[in-house]
A and B are shown apart, each in its own frame.
Chain A
């Protein structure tokens, strides 16, 4: 699939503004309407089990929370800051040490107040998921989103919308 340059730019700026994502090296891979893939590279900093080198579930929670929270940018016509209401993560099996984990998310329902998202974390293939996550986000509206933040995310691509 080909990247949507406007969405990819917005998601990159959004994810780039989150200090924890910089710390873990989380970065966007693919952004298209209503679908987003982010990558979490393997590093020693996120290891949960020092004997096996398996990464901690918490790092996967951060990856999936970020992907689910950012796919909202790909699902809404305008940028809105959407706080997380809840998040449920099922861990199907340990991620293989030494390899990146990818998370693919989609908004499966958008209402006036709430956005419902689904997200899969995987390594080689999304048919063999490492974890799955469903989440809900609150819509506070584009006008309630701080203007400064909105400008930073939307950048110069406003005319494309």
Chain B
């Protein structure tokens, strides 16, 4: 199945796991996704190999960044007529709290979709949406 068919099937069944399974890095991290109408929630279940700081223990900052980047790219693809893997141009990450060894959630907001570039704001949290562990802004290119 190509990306378009996979996406169509995922939209129909509401199960995005087959689509995510085509991206090896997303599988390495363990990214999951659930859609509620026009809202999409991404989940990164706790996983030993995602840990950075062993003392706290806390999720590696790069893993949080990678999870946010994958979520933003998937979010963009899910709302495209012809889904295509966007290219990341830049990402700016603010780490607000330590990401503890527990499930992490991500929500994306498409701020601006131009003809070639999209701007996405990404929020990551664990305990409560009102206490984000990280915020990100990213630009993606469609070409």
Residues of chain A whose beta carbon lies under 8 Å from any beta carbon of chain B: 17-24, 44-50, 55-59, 61-66, 69, 81, 83-91, 94, 146, 148-149
Contact = CB atoms under 8 A, between A and B. Distances in A.
Contact of A61 (B28, B48, B52, B65): B65
Interface residues of B, number: 36
A21 B50 CA distance: 9
Those 5 A-B pairs whose CB atoms lie nearest each other, nearest first: A58-B66, A62-B62, A56-B25, A20-B60, A65-B62
Contacts of A49: 23, 85
B1 interface: no
B89 A58 contact: no
B65 A19 contact: no
Contacts of B62: 20, 58-59, 61-66
Interface stretch (B9-17, B91-99, B104-112): B91-99
A45 B55 contact: no
B22 interface: yes
Nearest to A62: B62
B61 interface: yes
Contact of A58 (B25, B85, B90): B25
8 contacts: A19-B54, A19-B60, A44-B24, A56-B23, A56-B69, A57-B69, A62-B65, A89-B92
A58 B66 CA distance: 4
B113 interface: no
Contacts of A57: 66, 69, 88, 91
A18 B24 contact: no
Interface in B11-56: 22-29, 48-55
A35 B62 CA distance: 20
Given A58-B69, A83-B98, A88-B91, A19 B49 contact: yes
